Chains A and B, each alone.
Chain A
Amino acid sequence: METMLIFVLSLMLIFGFVAFASKPSPVYGGLSLVVSGGLGCAIIVSLNSTFLGLIVFLIYLGGMLVVFGYTAAMATEEYPESWVDNMVAFSMLLLSLLMEMVWLMVSGEVEVVMAVELFDSLGNYCVGQDWNGVSLLYGCGGWAMVLLGWILFITILVVLEVIRGL
């Protein structure tokens, strides 16, 4: 059961993606995107990349989707459309099932689990190295940090220009 955990999580991620890609009312779409983000974080964390999972939860869900939630409050209607009688959702589920079957028939073997080794073939230590990888952004990638900060600053100015005169 535990070896199938990552595969089952990715399967539930597909269901979550169907739930907002079939475009119900935006409130339900935002909710299913939050659930999909949580499942994606669970996939990443179960492969021992804890920093990137934390980034998904804090920055993606806690930063960007909160903004979407507040904006979706603008789009509330009296009878929000859910997934009942939604032909698009059903056909998306059929499409994903078809793609899985085609892939199963085309590829010979099925490799489900991704093992996380302690040392790789070169003898490097492998667990928890994504923290060290991200620290490169501050070290030799310092120019990237400055560039990203500048881009975010320019984006604020762009947004203020777009809503000028509001």
Chain B
Amino acid sequence: MLSININLIIAFTLALIGVLIYRSHLISTLLCLEGIILSLFILITLLITHFHIFSISITPLILLVFSACEAGVGLALLVKISTTHGNDYVQNLNLLQC
């Protein structure tokens, strides 16, 4: 396997770990989600360039459209949380308790 593919898979794994681990802010999780989308975009583009399958060149664009929709809804939720609690700390989301 090519070494840039390995580096991009490592980058994807790091952003995935960033999504799964909560620290203080909620917007950091959304930023890591955007990082996942960026690494997937670059991986698909490298696939297109390496194997000369230029017919699927629209796949990165479709991925970006869905990523924009997802980011928009995520930010709307963030704004709602921020107006309810005053900030976007994760420890404020404590209604569900066991």
Contact = CB atoms under 8 A, between A and B. Distances in A.
A68 B25 contact: no
Interface string A45-84: 0011101100110011001110110011011000000000
Contacts of B14: 14, 17-18, 21, 92, 95-96
Interface in A75-110: 75, 88, 92, 95-96, 99-100, 103, 107, 110
B32 to A, nearest CB: 6
Interface of B: 1-4, 6-8, 10-11, 13-15, 17-18, 21, 23, 25, 27-32, 34-35, 38-39, 41-42, 45-46, 48-50, 52, 54-58, 60-62, 64-69, 71-73, 75-80, 82-83, 87-88
Nearest to B77: A162
Interface of A: 6-7, 10-11, 13-14, 17-18, 20-26, 29-30, 33, 36-37, 40, 43-44, 47-49, 51-52, 55-56, 59-60, 63-65, 67-68, 71-72, 74-75, 88, 92, 95-96, 99-100, 103, 107, 110-112, 114, 116, 120, 124, 126, 129-130, 132-134, 136-137, 141, 144, 148, 151-152, 155-156, 158-159, 162-163, 166
Contact of B58 (A36, A92, A96, A141): A141
